[in-house]
Chain A
């Protein structure tokens, strides 16, 4: 059976338009942190929304922060898939988990949410883990940029 996912002939890329892998990693982290941050600010403004009806969730889209958050998270999904096309899952997962620490830092310094001592330990451990994995080869299955 032919592989239905394969692969149109690649179109030529204009020189200088390709994002380097490190830039793509930063874009994934930025889109995820900013998307979650915007969604959190928006949902705080909208207020408690727990319902079996879809209407309160749709009404939340009248809030600009919620719309911005959803757009940023769609961008994150596209960037994350692009990153997975170029790097191992075992590389992408730990490195992009830095988004958790950025989200916590945004919460602490922008929303002025308190961060406990264990929270700071968590931020440190995630950062060390991400840096450690960031020093490995991004792709080990025989492909690669």
Chain B
């Protein structure tokens, strides 16, 4: 059961980050952080289907993490779900057409390893 939950968390994290990135690119760059502009941003994001789907995926990931933490140790849950870093870099390369050079690959691997160590 715990590996099913890990798979759900990794898949939902990856989906939410990809959808958020894709949705925000469609929205356009955000530079204005005055209160009025933030209200307009919130209204615009609420009408953005990719962002809304991303929020659904984030919610599922959150509750799956809560369920995982109720049956597994934190030192298992966090490293197991850190796999999403590398998976998301691969998906960013092929789905979002990002250029991933050696520094980014190395950085993603180091961060994943770091999260695994940090959670021990």
Which A positions have Cβ atoms within 8 angstroms of B?
A: 3-8, 10-11, 13-14, 17-19, 50, 78, 80-82, 84-86, 88-94, 97, 100-101, 104, 116, 118-119, 121-130, 132-133, 135-137, 140-141, 143, 145
Q: How far is the CB of A94 from chain B (nearest CB, A)?
A: 4
Knowing A7-B28, A88-B96, A94-B85, say if A136 contacts B108 (CB, 8 Å).
no
- Selected from A8, A90, A129, A137, the residue in CB contact (under 8 A) with B110 is A129
Chain B: how many interface residues by the 8 Å CB criterion?
56
Q: Are A93 and B25 in contact (CB under 8 A)?
A: no
Interface SS, B side: helix
B→A interface (CB under 8 Å): 17-18, 20-21, 23-34, 37-38, 40-42, 44-45, 47-51, 70, 85, 88-89, 92-93, 96-101, 103-104, 106-111, 113-120
A104-B120 Cα distance, complex, nearest whole Å: 12
